[in-house]
Amino acid sequence: MKRRSKTRTVPIHVTIPQHLLDEFDNVLGFKESRSKKIAMLMKNYLAREDSNLQMMTSIEVFEFMQYRFKKDSPEDILIQSLLQILAKSD
């Protein structure tokens, strides 16, 4: 027997370009739910809207971003370089 979620869901209708839907479906895994992925993306978007990103300095933004990537990955190296450049310009 399947458990019922206590979170009430509401069906919605949105209109988006066909090519965008096709691209989105292509990146979803075989067992991933389109609805669950869209709900997660909306939740992340709303959380980001509440952040104080506009109030952060460039250095603070890069310091925050550096933990998103594996150490010594190309992204990490780029962020570390930018942090060094910004630190020298202060």
| Cα–Cα distance, 14 to 16 (Å, whole number) | 6
Model pTM greater than 0.85? no
Residues with pLDDT less than 70, the chain? 1-5, 49-52, 90
3-state secondary structure the chain: CCCCCCCCCCCCCCCCCHHHHHHHHHHCCCCCCHHHHHHHHHHHHHHHHCCCHHHCCHHHHHHHHHHHCCCCCHHHHHHHHHHHHHHHHC
Query: How confident is the model at residue 50, as a pLDDT?
Result: 56
